[in-house]
Structure 1
Amino acid sequence: MSHSFPVRVFYEDTDMAGIVYYANYLRYIERARSDIVEQMGVDQRAMRDEDLVFVITRVEADYLGSGRFGDRLEVRTTHHGKGATRWIFDQEVLRGEEVIFRAKVTAVCMTTAGKPTRLPAKLRSMLADPAE
């Protein structure tokens, strides 16, 4: 599954040199993941009411270039289920065709008490590999 999410770099996103502050890339990719979840029809508020939440358990990040004030960036994401509890996201932030940031993010479905649990059946079905 593939997804594209546009990001505009505002002054508040940058340091004194006008370069995107490193932690803001994590914010950009989080927004893209939130957009994916919503577009897939997954209601996280309803999940929370059912005692289920997504927790990020791992982020591997590579900073390959620099976004700057005024840039129009794009977050490209591919994602898939892994096992019964994990959702894996491969994300890139691009300026034009140049990849300036890359991350692999693991989200785990948990109860609000912090116990890993199965992804909701509807989501597992959407994430299932048709070749399996």
Structure 2
Amino acid sequence: MAAEEFSLPLRVYIEDTDAGGIVYYVNYLKFMERARTEFMRAQGFGKDYIFNHDLMFVVRDVAVKYVAPAQLDDELTATVCLVALKGASMRMQQTVQRSGQVLARGDVTIACVDRAGVKPRRIPEQMLERLAPFTE
């Protein structure tokens, strides 16, 4: 089964751009973060679930390839595709697109940690079971 893709529509605001009206490079990471957050929320794992299970997800590794610039007022789509799910981490491939054209491509690994000690911990079984169908 091919991995399912989650999409989040976005708009580029002045705060996202540099003096020339081009999206500042770090903001693509913010767009990807929003898409990951909404993907997890759509699966039933919003902040209440995360906090009530005394866990956090932190970015362990990220690689981004910038392909083309987005500009002020562009309508964008940030995507998430869960490609690997392990006991304490998950890997996602992400894009930021404009009208189907990929502007940035990211490979992000997030790790599950406990809130108190910020030490690695196993992803809760309920979460692993619900997310497993999204992987390739």
Using structure 1 for the length normalisation, give the TM-score: 0.91
Single out whichever of 78-87 and 1-10 deviates more from structure 2: 78-87
Confirm or deny that 1:22 pairs with 2:58.
no
SS at match of 1:27: helix
| CA-CA distance at 1:130 after TM superposition | 8.9
Confirm or deny that 1:109 pairs with 2:112.
yes
One of 130, 133, 136 as aligned partner of 1:126: 130
Distance 1:65 1:103 in 2: 13
1:5–1:32 CA contact under 8 A, matched in 2: yes
Single out whichever of 2-11 and 122-131 deviates more from structure 2: 122-131
Distance 1:104 1:130 in 2: 16
Q: Deviations over 1:81-108 (max 9, x none)?
A: 4221111111011111211100011111
One of 69, 72, 90 as aligned partner of 1:87: 90
Q: Which residue of 2 aligns with 1:42?
A: 45
- Number of aligned residue pairs: give it: 131
SS at match of 1:93: strand
Using structure 2 for the length normalisation, give the TM-score: 0.89
Structure 1 segments unaligned to the other structure (5+ residues)? none
Structure 2 segments unaligned to the other structure (5+ residues)? none
2:82–2:134 CA contact under 8 A, matched in 1: no
Q: Would the alpha carbon gap of residues 82 and 3 (structure 1) be closer, same or farther in structure 2, given more than 3 Å must change?
A: same
| CA-CA distance at 1:77 after TM superposition | 1.4
Q: Would the alpha carbon gap of residues 3 and 129 (structure 1) be closer, same or farther in structure 2, given more than 3 Å must change?
A: closer
Distance 2:55 2:131 in 1: 17
